[in-house]
Structure formats: C-alpha cells, structure tokens
Amino acid sequence: MNYLKNHILKMKYRKERKRIDRIFIDNVQKKQVTANVRNTSISDSDGTNYLLFVNAAVSNEEVFSSFRSCSIYRQIVTGLSVNLAEQCWKIIKKQALSDECLDLYLESDKIGEPERYYFDDLDKKVAPSTIRYIKILYDIQKLMPAEINSIAEIGIGYGGQCKIIMDKCNIQRYDLIDLPEVTELAKKYLTEISSTNEKISLVNYVDGTKLEGIADSYDLVISNYAFSELGREVQDAYLQSVILKAKHGYMIWNSLSYLTLGGYSVDELRKIIPNSKVANEEPLSAKDNVLIFW
C-alpha cells in the first residue's frame, strides 16, 4: 500500500520540483542572486549552482518556502532516496521512540516544503532527510557517552540535524560551521522553527572560511559527509581548529574528495585522529562510505 501511495506522491513532487526550479532560474537570469565560488569543496565548485540556490532561498521568500524540494538542493543536501530512508526507519523502530518525541522531530518538516513519504508502521508522511537525522541521533546516543554538552557540526545543510539533536538532548553550546551563505540559510530555517524549541537560541553560526569564534574544545564533533568533501588544505584547517579539539566524533566519510580533490583517505584520518575507529555506514548510501567515530 505504501508503495502505491509513495508512487503517487513522487509524481506530484516531480511537478512541484519543476515549479520551484523555474523560480530559481528566473532569479538567476534576472541577476537577482549571485554566489562567491571558492572551489574549496565539492558543493562550492564551479560545476554546481548550490550556493546560487542557497542565496536565493535566503533572499527570496517564495524560493525559501519550498527550498527543500528544489532539484539542485536535493542533489547536495536532501536527496536521500525513499528506499534508504525506509532502511533507516527500520533501524529507528528498534529503539523506544515515543509518539511525543516523533511529533517533535516531525516539526522539522513544516518549513521548506520537503518531499514527504509514508514508511512502514507510520501513519504520517515524513521527509527522508528527517528520518536520516533521527537515525543519526540514535547512533550518537548509542556510541557516545551520555554527557554531551557542546557540539560542533561541520557541514550543516539547513540545520536539520541540529534541530533534531536539540529536541532530544540538553546541549549547552551547538556551533554550526559552514560557508557563510549556508549558515545564513540555516539561521533562517532554525529561526522559523524555533517556536517549537527555545534551545535553538543556543546555536552559534560560524563562518567556515574563517573559523573565528569557535570553542577551545567540544564534547562532540559531527560531520555527515561534508568533511570528506573538502579539499585537503581546508580539511587540515578543520582538523587543527575543530576535530582534534573534540573529545568525541561522529563522521560519515565518503570518497568524493579523496578521489577528486586530494582529500584524506580513511587510513590517513585514523592515523591523525587519536583513538578513532571505523564501522560500516548503516544503511550504506554509497560505495566506500564508512563511519569514523571516537
């Protein structure tokens, strides 16, 4: 039954994607939005319109209202397949997830009009990216000590992982680190969603091109794919300024930078990061992906 309902939803969302894509293209053609391409990572290289779209979402309310459905944005941030999200949900179901917690997590989907689908035993539609963020929260709770007060997240998307973690955990400081354009979008999203969680006011937005204002140390650093998509020079800056100052870490690594930008391999990172371990990514979202944690 879910297969049929989700198939119908996919057809509907395909039309919506075309609509929001047209609005974005119109903004670019009218030169209402520009971007500063730095070529420091996969997402801000010359071959992507990602930063152009992020700036459009920040400055144009019509684009922002549906930003999580745009094709360009989905390719970089929110495009987790329904099948992978279903696998994540099967893992989540093994945990003691209350209806109250689930409802709080699903507040995330009220902003940005994400594509939402039905999953096994769920009578509500949920965005695949939200399912993944819940699953990562449970990973962190399983792998890390209970006392986590400060977090740095490298590569932040729209702030969705931060929102889910702040819903569940008593975090005193949460630093979101990314390109300044991306932190502006996350700030806009989290400000809109903050009515459901006053702890969002504890979030700091850090310009990843400068790394100013970061803490002397963190209890936990998180990076879902982003660190492994940076060039090696930028990776070195993050290692010295953030990662090696963190007591614990949860990083999903992919091979994109290693293969195309000269980024660090898993074996190299294990030698650099004390006490780090490697596990399979579950579910596996791409060949070679692994989880590095300590």
Per-residue pLDDT of the chain (294 residues; tens, 9 = 90+): 687 777 677 777 777 777 777 777 776 656 666 677 677 887 776 556 889 899 999 999 999 999 999 888 998 898 799 999 999 999 998 887 888 899 999 999 999 999 999 998 888 999 999 999 999 999 999 999 889 999 999 999 999 999 999 999 999 999 999 999 999 999 999 999 987 677 898 999 999 999 999 999 999 999 999 999 999 999 999 999 999 999 999 999 999 999 999 999 999 999 999 999 999 999 999 999 999 999
Q: How far apart are CA 123 and CA 26, in angstroms?
A: 37
CA distances from 227 to 105, 197, 289 (A): 25, 28, 13
Do residue 200 and residue 262 come from a single domain? yes
- pLDDT value at residue 223: 98
Q: Which of 62, 78, 94 is the last residue of a domain?
A: 78
What pLDDT is attached to residue 18?
Answer: 78
Q: With left for phi above 0 and alpha for psi between -120 and 50, is residue 262 left, alpha or beta?
A: left
Residues with Cβ within 8 Å of residue 254, at least 6 apart in sequence: 225, 228, 229, 286, 288, 289
Same-domain check for residues 74 and 166: no
Same-domain status, 57 and 91: no
Which one-letter amino acid corresponds to residue 197? N
The strand order across the sheet containing 277-280 reads 203-207, 173-178, 150-154, 218-224, 246-253, 290-293, 277-280
Q: Which of 78, 107, 122 is the last residue of a domain?
A: 78
pTM of the model: 0.91
Task: Based on the fold, state whether residues 242 and 119 are members of the same structural domain.
Answer: yes
pLDDT given for residue 34 in this prediction: 67
Beta-carbon count within 10 A of 4 CB: 9
N- to C-terminal Cα separation, the chain: 41
Q: Does 130 lie in the same domain as 265? A: yes
Note whether 118 and 228 are same-domain residues.
yes
Give whole-number Cα distances, 222 to 30, 55, 89, 92, 258, in Å: 38, 24, 21, 19, 19
Report d(CA 120, CA 137) in Å as an integer. 20
224, 214 contact by CB (below 8 A): no
Is the domain of 108 the same as that of 243? yes
pLDDT of the residue at 166: 95
Distance CA 175, CA 203 (A): 6
Are residues 90 and 39 located together in one domain of the fold?
no
Specify the pLDDT at position 47: 55
Domain that holds residue 66: 2-78
Residues 185 and 206 in one domain: yes
**Residue 292: phi, psi to the nearest 5?**
-105, 125
128 plus 207 within the same structural domain: yes
Pairing verdict, β 173-178 and 290-293: unpaired
Q: Which of 52, 78, 104 is the last residue of a domain?
A: 78
Q: Which of 175, 98, 171, 110 is nearest to 140 (CA)?
A: 171
Same domain as 162, residue 66: no
The CATH number of whichever domain residue 249 belongs to comes to: 3.40.50.150
Indicate if 73 and 179 belong to the same structural domain: no
The domain tally of the chain equals 2
How far from the centroid of its chain's Cα atoms is residue 230's Cα?
15
Q: On the CB side of 284, how many CA atoms lie within 13 Å of its CA?
A: 7
pLDDT of residue 95: 84
Task: Cite the DSSP H helix spans in 169-265.
Answer: 180-193, 232-241, 256-260
